[in-house]
Every structure is written in C-alpha cells, then in structure tokens.
Amino acid sequence: MTQPIRSLVGAAALLASTALPGLAQDQVISWIYCGDTLDPVHIKYIAEWEAANEGWKVEPELVGWAQCQDKATTLAAAGSPPALAYVGSRTLKEFSANGLVVEIPMTDEEKAAYYPGIVETVTSDGTQWGVPIAFSTKALYWNKDLFEQAGLDPDVPPKTWAEELEMAKTITEKTGIPGFGLSAKTFDNTMHQFLHWVYTNNGQIIDADGNIVMNSPEVLAALEGYKSMVPVSEEGPTAYEQNEVRAIWLDGKVAMIQAAVGAAFRADEAGMNYGVAPLPLGPSAQGPGTLLITDSLAVFADSGVEEKAIEFAKYITSPEVQEQYENSGLAGLTPLRPSAAVDKMVAEKPYWQPFIEGIEFGGPEPLFTDYKGFQNAMIAMVQSVVTGDAEPQAALDKASAEIEEYK
C-alpha cells in the first residue's frame, strides 16, 4: 500500500543533489546532520573513523532543525537518498514501510547495553530501523517557594496523581497562582505530555503485535487525570506548549510542571528554589514511568554504502563517543546507557536521578506508518477533553478508532 510519505516525491527534485562520477577519490557516507554547527565530539570522531577506514569519507550536511528531517525524507523519496540522516525515531516505521531505510542489525549484547525500553523506540515488527543518538525523559519540577507560601512542605513533592492534584488545588487557592502547568496547544508535545500520564499508569497505545490497545482503563484514567488538572492550571492551556509552560514556571507563575532536564539548567541560571522528582504515579502504576523519546541515525536504502553507513552509525553512537556527546553542552540529553560516568553525574548533580528512575517503566513514542495522522488524532483527543467539548471516554473511543487507519 502506498504510504503518505510518497506525496513528497514531486517536490523532491528541487532538493536532489547531483554528482559527477569518477571525480571523488574516496567513497562517501553523506550525513544529513541537524543543527547549525557540528558538535566538536563528532568532528573529532569522524576524523578518527576516517583515519581507520582508508578510502572512506564522512560528509555531514548541516540542515536547520525545522527542515532537517523533511530534507532527508524528500531526498530519499526522490531516489537520491543520503547514506545517513538524523531523524526522530517516530518516523522509522513510516520510512521502513516505504522501503526507504534498511534494517540495523543489533546483537543481544548491543541491545542490552542500553537502558530498558530504548531499543523499542526504534523497533517495528521486531526489527530495528535506527541507531539511537539522543534521548529525552521527563520529571516533575516544583517551585519550593510557592509550596511554602501555600503552607505545604517545600521538600515533599507529590508522589501520586491524587497528591499532585490536591497540592495544586491548595497552591491555587492559597496563593492565586496556578498549581500546575498544562500543555494542550496544537503542537506535538501535547501528545508527548499526555503520554507521560499514560506511562505513569501502566498504559499502552499500541502493543508489540501492532494492535491498538489504548481504549483501556489505564489510558482512560490518564485522560481523566489530565482533565482534572485544568481547573488548577494556567488560563487557556490550549495556548501553551511545553516550552511556553516551562517559561511561565521559570517566572514563578505556575508551581509544578513536567519537563526535561534542560529546565534544571535554566532554573539554576535563574537562581530558583526548586526541586525535581519522578513523575507522580497513577493508580495502576508499577513504578516510576516516563515517555522515552529518542532521535536516531537512519541508514537509507539505495545509497550504495549501506553496510559501511551502518558500521559508522554504530561507531559514532558507541558508548565512548556517545558519553562525550551527551556531556558536550547539549542541554536535555538523558544518557542512553548506564555507566560509571552516569553514576558520577548523578552523584554530582542529584537532579539527574528522577530522569533515569523513570526509564524502567517508561514507554516509547508509538511507531505508526502515518505518524502525523496519529499525532493529530491524539492532540485532538486531549484538546477536546481539556476544553470540555468531549467527555474522556467518548474522546478516547473516537481517537482509538481513528488511529487504526494510521498504524
């Protein structure tokens, strides 16, 4: 069946690059690299890999974050693929369904080196389609000063959804400041924020066999929990995405948010009195959870250098290299693998611990062949409940049926 990605082919010719045969001395691994600059760690290890692989050259092409994935997709759909591209792992099933990427063989040892659940973020139908290169988890942040003003113990955060709601109500009533920052804008991270509630209540969206299983008591409770925060959140949550919620938290205008570790860096810079804890748990939780989001290196089909590109992708994300990359100043990267260096990092900066604790019972961004269709259905579901246009069960029924066509 032809997938939505094929609609990009018509525009692809505008971006496709050409090459003159016979002029290059080296075989080239082209790499669509997201961002404005090459990370110094990658510069160093590209050079080392080239030195160890005579006759091969890695050529990164810098593309801004907003256009990066679209360019890789467009070139691949047009038949002029890069060898390698940095992509959101959420797109891997769509790429693989269209034959645009190749399988990434992983040994049991390679899989076991990652934290639990990470390999699942690049897995569809039991096959790995990408090599994780960046990882994000979330935790709960609270403003200790606002807790104290409301008469709450500033050193005791909520551990359950019920406690979170009760504390948010107390703060709202006693200080006039919203107790919780809620994301419900038409933006991808509205779905992400909701999935944190799903994965802190032992819920699932799609199972290992590809069945949609979201119409469950666990996911319904998550949607009801999300709705319960509306009266104690900032006014008009449909106008806020997670970075905007983070901004008002940093200004002391909401008491609690769910955010990545980058919020801690900014709070330290601002001199805030704050704490970080695992995400509060729902009634069906088995343990601390979070949404596991990865970006990956995808190896594209028909580049002619697939095997060597896989070798390089594994090298540039190997433990030694990745550890340095994660600590090279890129705010917000949770480590992909446990290590002595991670233990040291947590000991030096304890706010890292909740981001790692949530991994064991966390869940992946679900992989769909039409990811944007899935994402839009999930956002519409959340928004309809937040605005009161639909009751949680009716919204869940509708979204669950709709996303069947996107899997």
**311 burial via Cβ count (<10 Å: 0-12, 13-18, 19+):** middle
Is the confidence at residue 21, as pLDDT, over 90? no
Residue type, 379: I
pLDDT digits (tens, 9 = 90+) for 333-391: 899 999 998 999 999 999 999 999 999 999 999 999 999 999 999 999 999 999 999 99
- 4-135+294-352 with 139-289+368-406: one CATH topology? yes
Interacting residues of 210 by C-beta distance below 8 A, sequence separation 6+: 125, 407
Q: Confidence band (pLDDT; 50, 70, 90) for 12?
A: very low
pLDDT digits (tens, 9 = 90+) for 181-227: 999 999 999 999 999 999 999 999 999 888 999 999 999 999 999 99
Q: What share of the chain is helix, strand, coil (3-state, %, to 5)?
A: 45, 15, 40
Two tokens at 259? 């955010």
Position 33 scores a pLDDT of 97
Q: Are the CB atoms for 300 and 240 separated by under 8 Å?
A: no
Position 1 scores a pLDDT of 37
Burial 27-47 (b: 16+ CB within 10 A, else e): ebbbbbbbeeeebebbeebbe
Compute the radius of gyration of the chain from its Cα atoms: 22
d(CA 276, CA 260): 10
pTM: predicted TM-score of the whole model, two decimal places:
0.91
Q: Domain coordinates of the chain in residue numbers?
A: 4-135+294-352, 139-289+368-406
Q: What is the DSSP string of 259-293?
A: E-THHHHHHHHHT--EEEEPPPB-TT-SS---EEE
Q: Confidence band (pLDDT; 50, 70, 90) for 18?
A: very low
Phi/psi of residue 123, nearest 5 degrees: -110, 135
Position 327 scores a pLDDT of 84
Query: What is the dotted CATH code of the domain comprising 139-289+368-406?
Result: 3.40.190.10
Position 8 scores a pLDDT of 38
d(CA 334, CA 385): 31
In the chain, the percentage of residues whose pLDDT exceeds 70 is 93
Q: What is the DSSP string of 185-208?
A: SSSHHHHHHHHHHHHTTT--SB-T
Is the confidence at residue 39, as pLDDT, over 70? yes
Q: Confidence band (pLDDT; 50, 70, 90) for 9?
A: very low
Q: Architecture of domain 4-135+294-352 in CATH?
A: 3-Layer(aba) Sandwich (3.40)
Position 185 scores a pLDDT of 98
